Amino acid sequence: MQRMGSRAVDSPSLWEKALKLIGPEKGAVHLATAAVLNAVWDLWAKQEGKPLWKLLVDMDPRTLLSCIDFRYITDVLTEEEAYEILQKGQVGKKEREEQMRTQGYPAYTTSCAWLGYPDATLTQLCSEALKDGWTRFKVKVGADLQDDIRRCRLIRHMIGPEKTLMMDANQRWDVPEAVEWMAKLAEFKPLWIEEPTSPDDILGHAAISKALAPLGVGVATGEQCHNRVIFKQLLQAKALQFLQIDSCRLGSVNENLSVLLMAKKFGIPVCPHAGGVGLCELVQHLIIFDFISVSASLKDRMCEYVDHLHEHFKYPVVIRKACYMPPQDAGYSTEMKEESVRQHQYPDGEVWKELLAAQGN
């Protein structure tokens, strides 16, 4: 018997009800599930001696589909429809795998134009990125319209008219405000505006998408989507033109597979979110698999890259000519260096000791 507060708990159903209060399929429970299952996938790939993307690519379609929970999404994607998609993906698969091995998956950089960067820093970072071969850039917007206009003009002038520019508002606006603001920024020809409003506002995203379509600006979202059901509704409502999966927000590889397949059915390009610690390392596997086995297309497709904290990982991403090169080491690239873990362990790690000592002073 265990105790919950002052009441004795004998029935598992009470625990299930308690867990539903912080879930289900979202929130703390879902994030924890993703962590556990991602670790299982890492172990599975290591057991097979393959990087995760290769494990998925080589997997029999029926075996792969057995890893997916189709509950709540069969009104838009049945298991048989998913099987047909994977079967069609068998055609040309070897050639696409070789393409990935030699050329890599196209990436875009978010590191050049964070809000708060002075113009000198922005100019320096953009110049360095251009020299390194980057052709796709994302700029943060939403704090001040006139400042956004000035910064976007500066970036567009630096990268030229032929390179790709995206914008990210990080949920700053109400729906009418998003439409009005982006009408002013449309002159800089952004491919998309990312998270223009609350990530939970499916109909709001649909309204923004409809309003911005005549301006040639798409809507991108997904990094904060709780689960496959939210993605299903975004696709049904035509609320996005670019779908952004997250390797840790959804319920691990399993749930991401269902979203990749739904995106394929709806003809929506997947451009993953990777703006956090280790997210680049993980999501590269999913998007490489998507190209080889599901989408078979690179049109309007790219994966986010942020150039920080990769030094803490045992198998960091490899970027060559602004492309993700497929990982060669077995596993899901999740393993962090032991020294990094030790230094950042709470509360006895060196990093925490220094922070706590500084607060004490």
Residue type, 211: A
Based on the residue annotation, tell me whether 273 is a catalytic residue of this protein: yes
Signed CA dihedral, 125, 126, 129, 130: sign only: negative
Q: How far apart are CA 33 and CA 54, in angstroms?
A: 23
Single out the catalytic residue among 140, 232, 264, 285.
Answer: 140
Helix or strand holding residue 165 (H, E)? strand 164-168
Among 205, 226, 264, 273, the active-site one is 273
Active site residue 205: no
96, 121 contact by CB (below 8 A): no
3-state secondary structure (DSSP) of residue 263: helix
Strand 7-9 to strand 2-4: parallel, antiparallel, or no bridges (unpaired)? Answer: antiparallel
Q: Are 318 and 325 in contact (CB under 8 A)?
A: yes
Of 190, 200, 248, nearest in space to 221 by CA: 200
> CA 214 to CA 272: how far, in whole Å?
25
Which positions are catalytic? 140, 273
